[in-house]
Amino acid sequence: MTKAARKFKRSLAAWGVLGLVCILLVLLVIQGTLWFNMPSKRRYPVRGVDVSHYQGKIDWPRIAEQDMRFAFIKATEGSSLVDDCFAENWEQARAAGLYTGAYHFFSFDSAAETQADLFCATVPVEADAMPPVIDLEFYRSDNLPAVETVQKNLRILVNRLQTQYGKQPIIYTTNACWETYLQDMDLDYTLWIRSIFTPPSSSLTPAWTFWQYNPRGKLDGYVGDETFIDLNAYRGTWEEFQMEFGI
């Protein structure tokens, strides 16, 4: 075998090993065993989850034992859907000592007024609860509503929730949605950003308060259709968290 042939063989073997390593890493990420976009626990010590009926039956004391401090629970969607597990999750998460908030999945297809009515009829007013959350994301890729229409409806919904619960609402969103609908909007809200491959951008306004960093997290304590659970971090210390939300 010539020197060039031996060199080519070694190179081919090295690329084969590298390919296998890459495949293994991808499988570990898909399975939720490995995640690269992990915020520093020292810098962001306050962690929490967000859940819906997809997580099924949740053992909230077990969730709390895994250093989770807060939970956002799906309550409603659009103008007519109430999450089947909301009432039970709301009661049991609070009983387990987690600081608990409810979220509404914003619909492009129904009026903001009726969406607000549904959420306010479903989620109790509790002085020690987290602020209400509006989940704004693209759930379809075509026929998106005009920016002006979404901004008008968001303003109505934010104002209604502010009035009902006496707390500045949180908006959960993706980078793409923020750029489309929120970037140039004059609206008072707390930002919860989904950024699963990189840390959140420093150009976001308002600066993010919550960061969903892992949509494929795994914890003990739930049995449902969904294997994974969303993991989130608060931008600050535990003392700052308590001060900011008055709890």
Q: Percentage of residues in the chain with pLDDT exceeding 90?
A: 82
DSSP character string of 132-188: PEEEE--S-SSSPPPHHHHHHHHHHHHHHHHHHHSSPPEEEEEHHHIIIIITT----
Mean pLDDT of 33-55: 87
Question: Are 18 and 107 in the same domain?
Answer: no
Mean pLDDT of 42-66: 97
pLDDT of amino acid 27 = 39
Q: Where does the pLDDT of residue 141 fall: very low under 50, low under 70, confident under 90, or very high at 90 and above? A: confident
Question: Are 23 and 43 in the same domain?
Answer: no
pLDDT of amino acid 9 = 57
Residues serving a catalytic function are 137
Question: Are 151 and 47 in the same domain?
Answer: yes
Task: Domain count for the chain, please give it.
Answer: 2
For residues 219 and 229, the answer to whether their CB atoms sit within 8 Å is yes
For residues 170 and 101, the answer to whether their CB atoms sit within 8 Å is yes
Domain interval for residue 14: 1-34
pLDDT of amino acid 37 = 75
- Kindly tell me if the per-residue pLDDT of 25 is higher than 60: no
- Kindly tell me if the per-residue pLDDT of 74 is higher than 60: yes
For residues 247 and 128, the answer to whether their CB atoms sit within 8 Å is yes
Question: Are 66 and 154 in the same domain?
Answer: yes
- Kindly tell me if the per-residue pLDDT of 5 is higher than 70: no
Mean pLDDT of 44-61: 98
Question: Are 94 and 139 in the same domain?
Answer: yes
- What's the pTM? 0.86
Question: Are 137 and 54 in the same domain?
Answer: yes
Question: Are 119 and 156 in the same domain?
Answer: yes
pLDDT of amino acid 91 = 98
Question: Are 46 and 107 in the same domain?
Answer: yes
